[in-house]
Structure 1
């Protein structure tokens, strides 16, 4: 029973962290020309082209974020070992936070630039 609980907990942790990685997927947003907001605002073709260019830059910036600091299975290894490894957990969580922060930065920069169009 204890093993099943550990496996379930490890699965939940892995799922939680994979959601963070999926949240960084900027392709989920509609293309600027097809966005209902663009149609509602009646933007010119030049404005749509500029927004599309900014969106492509956002995608490029997010894809270039390094994920080298994330160690596959580090948190699961801590759980399976039965010993708490403060450094491994903190390093892994810091790596996730760093990526999250960089994605948020690029999104805010994108919205700022779109606001100027």
Structure 2
């Protein structure tokens, strides 16, 4: 099966600068799109700032949407999404808020 990397700007550049080398967060293999390794970059500067967990979740969802659209897909086509957090105490309320944001965006058609 052919694998094709997809560049999405400015995300690809931000990742390369942060990881000190070429990296591709999006791979299309057949009809499947794989997206990986999206930290909550500031959309303007590319910095990862200390922000509330819910705001970080919103930023990553926006980036995920941009990546999927660049690959010809959308968040509506997502089958599985894993969320990895650094070992910081995250409240259940924050996690529930993140799930609520995802559902709200899906229902109003913004994802």
Question: As a proportion of its length, which structure holds more helix?
Answer: 1
Q: Which has the higher contact order (CA 8 A, sep 6+)?
A: 1
Is TM-score (shorter-chain normalized) higher than 0.5?
no
Q: What TM-score do the two structures reach when normalised by structure 1?
A: 0.27
Q: What TM-score do the two structures reach when normalised by structure 2?
A: 0.29
Q: Mark the structure with the bigger radius of gyration.
A: 1
